[in-house]
Amino acid sequence: MSEYPKTPDEVAAFLNDLTILDEAPPADIPLPPADNEVMVVTSLRLPLELHERLKAAAEARGKPFSTLVREWIEMELANLENDQPISRADALRALATLRPHRGVA
């Protein structure tokens, strides 16, 4: 049988010829990450110029493109999660209370 089995009899014959081993996988098969972090492939549309800039930035840092983008996304999400926005009026009020800096001569 050189092709995939097509009939029920061929499937049965194919399954009967299988040998199932209760062994550990060979050492050359990579194991999943120890922290069990699952990586998901996602598609992202970028303008060509932005893609080239990101690629150059990754190369300059000696990192893969996807690692750099992932790190930057993680940093920005952390900034957003820890951000405590205030109103413009509150910001101006806080700035108005500051005294001018006078350098020591």
Instruction: Specify the pLDDT at position 53.
Output: 97
The predicted model scores a pTM of 0.48
Rg (CA), the chain: 29
Instruction: Specify the pLDDT at position 55.
Output: 96
- 22-47 pLDDT, tens digit each: 777 667 777 666 777 788 889 999 99
- 48-64 pLDDT, tens digit each: 999 999 999 999 999 99
Instruction: Specify the pLDDT at position 1.
Output: 46
Instruction: Specify the pLDDT at position 62.
Output: 96
DSSP 11-59: HHHHHHT------PPPTTSPPPPTT-PPP--------HHHHHHHHHHHH
